[in-house]
Amino acid sequence: PGLQKDGVEADLQRLLAEQVDVIGDGLTLVRREYPTAIGPVDLLLRDAAGGTIAVEVKRRGDIDGVEQLTRYLELLGRDPHLTPITGVFAAQEIKPQARVLAADRGIRCVTLDYEGMKGIESGAPRLF
């Protein structure tokens, strides 16, 4: 059986799909759980220039998550309809070693503010 996302990771993915501007301006969602032969990419986005962005979402980002995204990027990069493709590793917390590995592989890291994203999504007033 495939891995099941826990509540927070699944919520992060859903919220990020609704708020792709957290990743960058001018992005549009292509699909959540984009299927590949080695498992689904959490989010597939397009930028204004037509480039593709694969996003891997984690609660706590470590080296394994960067490795997972690297495998997806290698596989998706073979599809001429998806090139050029870049990667974003998005998590509430990203370990320093994961940041170093991601930077070495040209993958951008984005730290997610789960509480802030919930506030934006729900429209609930916030004190901070």
User: How sure is the predictor about 68, in pLDDT bands with cuts at 50, 70 and 90?
Assistant: very high
Number of domains comprising the chain: 1
* Sequence letter at residue 100: V
Q: Is the pLDDT of residue 2 over 60?
A: no
Tens of pLDDT, residues 12-62: 999 999 999 999 999 999 999 999 999 999 999 999 999 999 999 999 999
d(CA 6, CA 20): 21
The pTM score is 0.87
Is 2 a domain residue?
no
Is 79 a domain residue?
yes
Number of C-beta neighbours around residue 22 at 10 A: 18
d(CA 59, CA 3): 14
Q: Is 85 helix (H, G, I), strand (E, B) or coil?
A: strand
Is 124 a domain residue?
no
Inter-residue contact 27 to 47 (CB < 8 Å): yes
Q: Is the pLDDT of residue 7 over 80?
A: no
Is 127 a domain residue?
no
Residues spanned by the domain of 21: 7-119
Is 128 a domain residue?
no
d(CA 24, CA 51): 13
Q: In this structure, what token pair is assigned to residue 69?
A: 């995204």
Q: Is the pLDDT of residue 119 over 90?
A: no
Is 59 a domain residue?
yes
CATH number at 76 reads: 3.40.1350.10
Number of C-beta neighbours around residue 6 at 10 A: 9
